[in-house]
């Protein structure tokens, strides 16, 4: 992004500043990377409850008599059978089966959907979809740059839901509309942390109402959290990040996420390419790596070696605050992608041992 282009701002920017946020530019937005520390915010989500501003995520409202069938031809998961009040994870693919974006689809009613897309691909997703929209029967509304979105995540989040809505928190992947003192909100029991929690979406909240809602959630015990903790939390679950672990050059089968592709559907963009790949077998797989104790944090593009030969590079890596170990994701040649395979990761010109493991890295003890 050019220095002459001003970054997009959350409606909560001023409030974040007053809370002591440190900012970073991400996907054209200026966003909090942490408030107190990444470590304290990570543990707040794992042990209590954290509050994230995710207003940078794109929001598309799709409605109309053909909305459901049209979305089913664009996305890999089963939109046709998605009932009102439920959400699912899916992919938007190119013709070669490569991942343009990973998306959450919320079914608001029989002919009305909310799609939450990644900030870095909001514009390209919109262009891709509008290029393929029918002449009638589908209404597309991009509410991205005027929207508020928050994520309340952690084991104490159900009590916050109950105070906000005066009702019990429903099962994961539920969605509903709710009229509150902070305006009409869409509430969904989804998240990107591996913890129980919910997300709040509004395309109508004023900055004043947004600040009031954020402060109310803080008053109920939520700790403000930034992008840093969001990244360590999702990595502990081996959740991929689009643009880093996922790209138009990798398919859902190679990303180790075949369960979100429904081959029994009549057709969707990229299906034929995936069928060929499924028949022939994949040559690489996005895999979790657990590093030896006391290693430095693995970073994007850190080299991965077997017997002094570079075989791949880290796509995402960090020190897991929950495990106190280096963890990483990497797209490995298939012969090295089986659990328990021993590898080496080069960090700052030194080699550290690593092992392919099953996902997730972090398993909550119940």
Please state at what angle helix 38-47 crosses helix 227-236, rounded to 10 degrees: 50
Range of lowest pLDDT (108-112, 114-118, 143-147, 338-342):
143-147
Residue 366 pLDDT: 52
Q: What is the structure's pLDDT at 5?
A: 67
pLDDT at 258: 98
pLDDT at residue 56, as a whole number: 96
In this prediction, residue 203 has a pLDDT band, given cuts at 50, 70 and 90, of: confident
Percent of the chain's residues with pLDDT above 70:
98
The answer to whether residues 292 and 327 touch, using CB atoms and an 8 Å cutoff, is no
- Is the model's pLDDT at 324 over the cut of 60? yes
Q: Is the pLDDT of residue 360 over 80?
A: yes
Q: What is the average pLDDT score of the chain?
A: 96
Using a pLDDT cut of 90, give the percent of the chain over it: 94
What is the reported pLDDT for 3?
47
| pLDDT, tens only, 66-115 | 999 999 999 999 999 999 999 999 999 999 999 999 999 999 999 999 99
Pick the CATH number of 283-356 from 3.40.50.2000, 3.50.50.60, 3.40.1440.10, 2.40.30.110: 2.40.30.110
Q: Mean pLDDT, to the nearest integer, of 279-299?
A: 98
CA angle, residues 175, 177, 178, in degrees to nearest 5: 125
What pLDDT was estimated at residue 287?
98
Beta strands in the chain (DSSP E): 8-9, 22-26, 29-34, 50-53, 58-63, 87-93, 99-109, 112-117, 139-142, 148-153, 175-180, 183-188, 197-202, 223-225, 284-291, 303-306, 309-320, 325-333, 342-347, 350-356
pLDDT of residue 12: 97
CA pair distance 282, 72, nearest whole angstrom: 25
Q: What CATH number has the domain spanning 56-142+251-281?
A: 3.30.70.1400
In this prediction, residue 2 has a pLDDT band, given cuts at 50, 70 and 90, of very low
Is the pLDDT reported for residue 265 higher than 90?
yes
Q: Residue 206: pLDDT band by 50, 70, 90 thresholds? A: confident
pTM of the model: 0.96
Query: Per-domain residue ranges for the chain?
Result: 8-54+147-236, 56-142+251-281, 283-356
* pLDDT of 18 over the 80 cut: yes
4 has a pLDDT exceeding 60: no
Per the CB < 8 A criterion, the answer to whether 57 and 333 are in contact is no
Superfamily of the domain at 8-54+147-236: Probable tRNA modification gtpase trme; domain 1 (3.30.1360.120)
Q: How confident is the model over 160-174, as pLDDT tens digits?
A: 999 999 999 999 999
Phi, psi (degrees; rounded to nearest 5) at 125: -60, -45
């Amino acid at each position: 992004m050019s220095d002459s282009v001003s970054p997009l701002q959350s409606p909560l920017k001023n409030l974040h500043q007053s809370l002591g946020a440190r900012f970073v530019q991400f996907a054209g937005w200026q966003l909090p990377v942490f408030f107190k520390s990444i470590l304290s915010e990570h543990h707040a989500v794992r042990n209590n409850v954290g509050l994230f501003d995710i207003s940078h995520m794109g929001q598309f409202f799709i409605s109309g008599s053909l909305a459901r069938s049209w979305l089913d031809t664009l996305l890999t998961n089963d939109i046709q059978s998605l009932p009102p009040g439920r959400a699912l994870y899916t992919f938007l693919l190119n013709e070669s089966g490569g991942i343009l974006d990973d998306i959450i689809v919320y079914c608001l009613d029989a002919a009305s959907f909310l799609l939450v897309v990644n900030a870095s691909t909001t514009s390209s997703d919109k262009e891709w979809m509008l290029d393929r929209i029918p002449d009638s029967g589908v209404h597309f509304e991009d509410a991205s740059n005027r929207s508020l979105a928050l994520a309340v995540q952690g084991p104490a989040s159900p009590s916050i839901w109950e105070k906000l809505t005066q009702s019990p928190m429903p099962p994961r992947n539920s969605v509903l509309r709710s009229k509150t003192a902070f305006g009409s909100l869409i509430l969904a029991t989804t998240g990107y942390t591996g913890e129980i929690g919910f997300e709040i979406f509004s395309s109508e909240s004023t900055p004043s109402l947004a600040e009031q809602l954020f402060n109310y959630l803080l008053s109920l015990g939520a700790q403000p959290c930034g992008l840093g903790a969001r990244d360590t939390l999702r990595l502990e679950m081996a959740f991929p990040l689009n643009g880093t672990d996922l790209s138009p050059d990798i398919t859902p089968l190679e990303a180790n996420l075949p369960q979100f592709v429904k081959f029994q559907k009549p057709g969707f963009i990229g299906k034929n390419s995936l069928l060929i790949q499924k028949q022939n077998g994949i040559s690489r797989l996005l895999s979790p790596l657990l590093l030896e104790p006391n290693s430095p944090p693995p970073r994007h593009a850190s080299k991965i070696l077997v017997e002094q030969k570079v075989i791949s590079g880290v796509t995402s890596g960090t020190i897991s605050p929950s495990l106190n170990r280096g963890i990483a994701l990497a797209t490995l040649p298939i012969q090295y992608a089986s659990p328990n395979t021993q590898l080496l990761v080069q960090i700052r010109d030194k080699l550290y041992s690593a092992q392919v493991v099953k996902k997730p890295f972090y398993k909550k003890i119940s």
